[in-house]
């Protein structure tokens, strides 16, 4: 009977430790997801800025091409 009581006590302790580990894992996953969300927001902002710069450069390049083709035909 003593052995059973000891094993049951050990089992309860292990269950408590398991819950602690599960909580830590959950907290770490939440932190990781939050960090990824923040970095994704930064990436999107950088992509938007780069995309805007490219859009501004493209119309200028298009105008230069039409000017040069016009002067070449003259």
- Cα(21)–Cα(29) distance, integer angstroms: 12
Confidence check: pLDDT of 19 > 60? yes
- Cα(50)–Cα(65) distance, integer angstroms: 22
30: Cα within 13 Å, side-chain hemisphere? 6
User: Tokens at residue 26, please?
Assistant: 């959950």
Q: How far lies 63's CA from each of 52, 60, 66, in Å?
A: 18, 5, 5
- Cα(45)–Cα(38) distance, integer angstroms: 11
Instruction: Identify which has the larger pLDDT, 56 or 38.
Output: 38
Q: What is the pLDDT of residue 70?
A: 52
The pTM of this model reads 0.51
């Amino acid at each position: 009977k003593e052995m059973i009581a000891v094993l049951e006590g050990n089992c309860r302790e292990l269950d408590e430790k398991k819950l602690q580990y599960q909580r830590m894992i959950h907290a770490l996953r939440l932190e990781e997801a939050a960090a990824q969300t923040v970095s994704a927001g930064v990436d999107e902002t950088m992509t938007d800025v780069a995309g805007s710069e490219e859009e501004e450069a493209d119309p200028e390049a298009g105008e230069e091409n039409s000017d040069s083709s016009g002067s070449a035909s003259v």
